[in-house]
Structure 1
Amino acid sequence: QPPPQGQWWKRTRPGQECGKHKCRFCLYSSNRKSHVTTHERIHTKEKPFCCSVCQQTFTQKVHLQDHERIHTGEKPFTCDLCQKRFALKINLTAHQRTHTGEKRHQCGVCGKRFNESGNLVTHLRMHTGEKPFKCITCGKAFTRSNYLKTHQRKSHEGERLAGRTPVGDVGTKDSLSGPLLEQDQ
Structure 2
Amino acid sequence: PNKCDQCDKSFHKLSDLKKHQDVHKDIRKHPCTTCGREFTDKSNLKRHMLLHSKIKPFTCTGCQNRFTQIASLRRHQQKC
TM-score range, shorter chain: 0.7 to 0.9
What is the CA–CA distance in structure 1 between the aligned matches of 2:26 and 2:74, rounded to whole Å?
31
Matches within 5 A, 1:134-173: 134-152=59-77, 154-156=78-80
Q: Which residue of structure 1 lines up, in the alignment, with residue 46 of structure 2? A: 121
Instruction: Give the residue type in structure 1 aligned to 2:72.
Output: Y
Instruction: Give the residue type in structure 2 aligned to 1:85.
Output: K
**Unaligned 5+ residue runs, structure 1?**
1-75, 157-185
Q: Which residue of structure 2 lines up, in the alignment, with residue 97 of structure 1? A: 22
Of structures 1 and 2, the larger Rg is shown by: 1
Q: Larger relative CO (CA 8 A, sep 6+): 1 or 2?
A: 2
2:3, 2:11 within 8 Å by CA — same for their partners in 1?
A: no
Superposed displacement of residue 97, structure 1: 0.2
- SS of the equivalent of 2:62 reads coil
Instruction: Give the residue type in structure 2 aligned to 1:140.
Output: N
Superposed displacement of residue 79, structure 1: 1.1
Q: Percent identity?
A: 35
**Unaligned 5+ residue runs, structure 2?**
none
What is the CA–CA distance in structure 2 between the aligned matches of 1:150 and 1:86, rounded to whole Å?
29
TM-score, normalised to structure 2's length?
Answer: 0.74
Q: Which residue of structure 1 lines up, in the alignment, with residue 10 of structure 2? A: 86
Bigger helix share = 2
2:47, 2:69 within 8 Å by CA — same for their partners in 1?
A: yes
Instruction: Give the residue type in structure 2 aligned to 1:107.
Output: C
Q: How many residues align?
A: 78
